[in-house]
Amino acid sequence: MPVTKIVLGENEIPTSWYNVLPDLPEPLPPILHPATKEPTILPPPLFPRSLDQQESSQERYIEIPEEVQDIYKMWRPTYLHRAYRLEKALDTPAKIFYKYEGTSPAGSHKLNTSVAQAYYNKKEGVKRLATETGAGQWGSALAMGCQLFDLECKVYMVRVSYEQKPYRRIMMETWGANVVSSPSEDTEIGRKIRKEDPDCSGSLGIAISEAVEDAATRDDTMYSLGSVLNHVLMHQTIIGQEAKKQLEKADAYPDIIIGCIGGGSNFAGVFLPFVKDKLDGRKLSIICVEPEACPTVTKGPYTWDFGDVAGMAPIAKMYTLGHTFVPPRIHAGGLRYHGMAPIVSHLNKLGIIETRAEHQVPVFKSAVMFARAEGILPAPEPAHAIKAVVDEALKCKESGEAKTILLALSGHGHFDLGAYDEYLSGKLEDYEYPKELVEEALKQLPEVK
Amino acid sequence: MPVTKIVLGENEIPTSWYNVLPDLPEPLPPILHPATKEPTILPPPLFPRSLDQQESSQERYIEIPEEVQDIYKMWRPTYLHRAYRLEKALDTPAKIFYKYEGTSPAGSHKLNTSVAQAYYNKKEGVKRLATETGAGQWGSALAMGCQLFDLECKVYMVRVSYEQKPYRRIMMETWGANVVSSPSEDTEIGRKIRKEDPDCSGSLGIAISEAVEDAATRDDTMYSLGSVLNHVLMHQTIIGQEAKKQLEKADAYPDIIIGCIGGGSNFAGVFLPFVKDKLDGRKLSIICVEPEACPTVTKGPYTWDFGDVAGMAPIAKMYTLGHTFVPPRIHAGGLRYHGMAPIVSHLNKLGIIETRAEHQVPVFKSAVMFARAEGILPAPEPAHAIKAVVDEALKCKESGEAKTILLALSGHGHFDLGAYDEYLSGKLEDYEYPKELVEEALKQLPEVK
């Protein structure tokens, strides 16, 4: 068997992030202020200046600060694997590569931006960051980022996860974060919701509103978001740039790149460094995979909507199921967001990337097949992408084409084994697309001229 | 900051295991048959011939079969990290390196031998392997090894872990293993114990006896052990050989090597490739760390004892607290074994390596310090070694010596976060050495002339 992993040295880690904005064939619509609905920057009471500058920068490459590069070296470069055993199990002529981010201390790609955000906040004198987390991937990444830069970290964790998945909470606390169950008693909106509904199990939208309120009402605190925004996607391009170098070393170029999208940051981080090639004429399919239970891009309109449930976050042009929509409780918590990154939405609208939706039972079937062939137990989110990889590889088997497929494998499923148990014992069920709920939520869209 | 990790390419993975037996200054005492008490080979109804040959081989290097090398490439080489941030937190002139095995799919070093054992069994026509597991590290590694070689895998999992730690069980099942709670209804000894004590919470000794009975009574099945035996330690020398190459690249050689010992295989895998240098006159401290609650080497006699509770496994000359001793329920499940690898015992007796014991509360204090500095959340077992690293680094601070310390960091603590929670909330307690229990157990030692 030839080379199984393509290994880079530390000196081959990219030293700049790639910013796609100047390369877009049409400019990205601006974000709008939630109250005035006029074009705005990232609101200064929430974000430090340097991140706002990155948000709309027209520089193609932005140098990664040395302190951030040093921290990336704690786990980067990550390996690019060739999935020989999966190819064999599928009996496909396709060449499958996967870029695996699960070996980072927090277990996913999220650290790539949390460390950068902690750095810029620290540099601008911020003492404390507030954020939300669902199942805990983002919260734990920010907790570690803050710990490394000696910042306080406050995490509003959706109550149902706080109670059912204590391990991620403990991980955040081990890294020094203060974690509360959301809705909490620590914010006005939290107290209001608890008063109205003491049994409220929380949602990502509520937790975002709590974190935004926390940051907006404290001088020493900024807000931090783990996906969706342009600067977050840009920080993740470290992944795709590494993957590109590694594929070059393997003398390969992808015909198809596949990843899952929730807020969009992991997959954009992988595919954005390849997009320019496609705009320059290279034949390349970029396939986003989202859950059937929360099919933002495949079923939602491309329109203006708030980023959070309370309407305190900026308004963005994006695919959305409505900011008040609460998706069914599929196991891929990271894909349960009503909206989508403006950059991903824009590229999808322009036809540069495409999107499909998958149900969780076949997704877990593919995840188990992957685990048995490749060893790694994928998180439920990238398992959606694995389902599409399997489908594309089987198409190759039928057509005899030896296509090269690159899979964005964003993290491990060590804290999601309950979901594997449900699947293996035949108890896992699919949720149909909740059409009425979405129709209701879409009535709440903000009016934008 | 200079290089943080020392990276090897796939072509730099060692292609042989190192066998210390021919280099020992005095020969290792033989193992004895449990019934006849005469010197014996590994009993053929339990182990395949090739592993028995490795057990007593006098070849210094044994080539790793190509199929096993190919599988190692799925996660090897592992990184050697320089702990700059821990050094800074301790304000020590010491140079601390750690070899981290937690990025393997099963999360520890155990795969290094499970894959090799599955390979040799498959090659000799075996269809099925039986084994025991405590908290599940070994069981999951063997489950993945068997999956890759298309062998059935039966795991007897200590009941208290089976019930309290379902995640490792699910991991094994995801890799296709059949996992039962031990004592089980599937063996005679299991049924006998359940009849006598329906509430029996199980022990590693009982689970070993069940797995041995399973293998001894089925033609298609062999037994597989995750530590203690010579061939298991030898398979782990892939770690130390890699570490040695990596240190050479960093132009460094350790003054001190530190690791935890339960059965002894992980740490022996790290230090054995350095032992020859020490025998040849090199100044080098090798420090083993065991738990105060199960202080096999620091408190037990060096004598003949059974490997399992039922007296079905061979008798070995080793440090032991008595094969009927059941240690207190510390969180480091992998360090709760009554005996110790004969090779580790022999080297300790000869004064080539030394051993100290630590309590779990200060161990977790060091683990949290490590996690906050280096990101990685260590498993409770290697956290014992981290405690000793911190102590040695602080001695360097006092003396001003810039010693080079190599830490064997065997795995992550993703499934041990309950223990971190206990520590962080101040509920974790230490167990005193259970002197009376040990004295009682030592009365049950087999009589050997």
The per-residue pLDDT for range A87-140, each reduced to its tens digit, is 999 999 999 999 999 999 999 999 999 999 999 999 999 999 999 998 899 999
Candidate from A75, A106, A420 with C-beta closest to B174: A420
Phi, psi of B391, deg, nearest 5: -60, -45
| Token reading at A271 | 């595919």
The proportion of chain A whose per-residue pLDDT surpasses 90, expressed as a percent, equals 89
Whether A2 has a pLDDT exceeding 80, the answer reads: no
| Residue B99, number of CB atoms within 10 A of its CB | 28
pLDDT band for position A41 (cuts 50, 70, 90):
confident
| Domains of chain A with bracketed CATH | 66-107+237-442 (3.40.50.1100)
Percent of chain A predicted with pLDDT > 70? 100
Does B105 contact chain A (CB < 8 Å)? yes
Contact B377 A421 (CB under 8 A): no
**pLDDT over 90 percentage in chain B:** 89
Q: Nearest chain B residue to A111 by CA: give it.
A: B375
pTM greater than 0.95: yes
Mind telling me how many Å the CA of B376 is from chain A's nearest CA? Answer: 5
pLDDT in tens, B34-65: 999 999 888 778 999 999 999 999 999 999 99
Under DSSP, is residue B4 helix (H, G, I), strand (E, B) or coil?
coil
Cβ contact (<8 Å) for B167 and A105? no
**Overall average pLDDT of the A219-236 stretch:** 96
Residue numbers of B between 422 and 441 with CB closer than 8 Å to A:
424
**Predicted confidence band of residue A175 (pLDDT cuts 50, 70, 90):** very high
Structure tokens at A148: 């490394």
* pLDDT at position A55: 95
Q: Kindly list the residues from chain B whose CB atom is less than 8 angstroms away from the CB atom of residue A81.
A: 74
**Is A173 in Cβ contact with B421 (below 8 Å)?**
yes
Is B7 near chain A, with CB under 8 Å?
A: yes
Give the least confident one: A362-376, B79-93, B200-214, B345-359: B200-214
B206 compared with B71, residue with greater pLDDT? B71
The answer to whether B385 faces chain A, any CB pair under 8 Å, is no
Q: Is A163 on the interface with B (CB under 8 A)?
A: no
Q: Give residue-wise pLDDT tens across range B404-419.
A: 999 999 999 999 999 9
Q: Is A148 on the interface with B (CB under 8 A)?
A: yes
At residue B326, the pLDDT reads 87
Residue with tokens 């496909």: A92
Please give the pLDDT value at position B308. Answer: 87
| A176 close to A143: Cβ distance less than 8 angstroms | yes
Query: Which among A103, A245, A386, A428 is the top mutation candidate for probing chain B, defined by the most B β-carbons within 10 Å of its own β-carbon?
Result: A103
Q: What is the pLDDT of residue A443?
A: 97
Would you call B164 an interface residue with chain A, using a CB distance cutoff of 8 Å?
no
B300-359 residues touching A, CB cutoff 8 A: none
CB A124, CB A42: distance < 8 Å: no
User: With a CB-CB cutoff of 8 Å, which residues 77-96 of chain B face chain A?
Assistant: 77, 81, 85
8 Å CB contact of B166 and A417: yes
Tell me if A173 and B70 make a contact (CB, 8 A cut-off): no
Mean pLDDT of A282-289: 98
On chain A, the residues whose CB falls within 8 A of the CB of B145 are none
DSSP class of A378? B
* Maximal CA-CA distance, chain A: 63
Element housing B371 (H / E): helix B360-374
Calculate the alpha carbon distances from B251 to A12, B6, B95, B104, B280 in Å. Answer: 21, 11, 12, 26, 20
Q: Is B424–A167 a contact, with Cβ atoms under 8 angstroms apart?
A: no
DSSP states of B152-214: EEEEEEEHHHHHH-HHHHHHHHHTT-EEEEES-SSSHHHHHHHHH-TT----HHHHHHHHHHH
In angstroms, the separation between the Cα of residue B106 and the nearest Cα of chain A is 8
Average pLDDT for residues B89-97, to the nearest whole number? Answer: 98
Residue A40 pLDDT > 90, yes or no?
no
Average pLDDT (A216-239) is: 96
Q: Taking CA atoms, what residue in A is nearest to B7?
A: A9
User: How far is residue B84's CA from residue B97's CA, in Å, rounded to a whole number?
Assistant: 9
**Which candidate from A4, A10, A377 shows the least CB-CB separation from B74?**
A4
Is B375 in Cβ contact with A75 (below 8 Å)?
A: yes
Mutate to test the interface with A, among B15, B68, B73 (most CBs of A within 10 A): B73
- The answer to whether the CB atoms of B372 and A415 lie below 8 A apart is no
Q: Nearest C-alpha of chain B: how many angstroms from A1?
A: 7
Local confidence band at B165 (pLDDT 50, 70, 90 cut-offs): confident
CA distance A446 to chain B (A): 42
Tokens of B291: 């738990």
Say if the Cβ atoms of B167 and A375 lie within 8 Å.
no
CB contact under 8 A, B417 and A167: yes
Phi, psi of B3, rounded to the nearest 5 degrees: -55, 130
- Residue for token digits 């601006």? A30
Query: Is the Cβ pair B7, A7 closer than 8 Å?
Result: yes
Q: Tally C-beta pairs within 8 A across A and B.
A: 118
**Residue pair B124/B44 in contact by the 8 Å Cβ criterion:** no
Q: What is the pLDDT of residue A44?
A: 72
Q: What is the chain B residue with the closest CA to A375?
A: B105
Whether residue A5 and residue B171 make contact (CB cut-off 8 A), yes or no, is: no
Q: How far is CA A317 from CA A298, A308, B39, B88, B361, in A?
A: 16, 14, 78, 46, 52
pLDDT given at position A87: 98
Nearest by CB to B421, which of A9, A170, A414? A170
- What is the tens place of the pLDDT at every residue in B182-236? 999 999 999 999 999 999 888 888 899 999 999 999 999 999 999 999 999 999 9
Residue of A15, A74, A163 to mutate for B, most B C-beta atoms under 10 A: A74
When mean pLDDT is compared across A28-32, A321-325, B203-207, B439-443, the lowest value belongs to B203-207
A1 has a pLDDT exceeding 70 = no
More reliable by pLDDT, A46 or B2: A46
Give strand ranges (E) for B183-300: 221-223, 256-260, 285-291
pLDDT for residue B266 is more than 90: yes
Decide if B105 contacts B75 (C-beta within 8 A): yes
Round to whole Å and give the CA distance between A18 and B103. Answer: 28
Is A242 a residue whose pLDDT tops 70? yes
Q: Give the pLDDT confidence score for residue B1 in this predicted structure.
A: 63
Task: Tell me which residues of chain B, numbers 117 to 146, contact chain A at a CB-CB cutoff of 8 Å.
Answer: 144
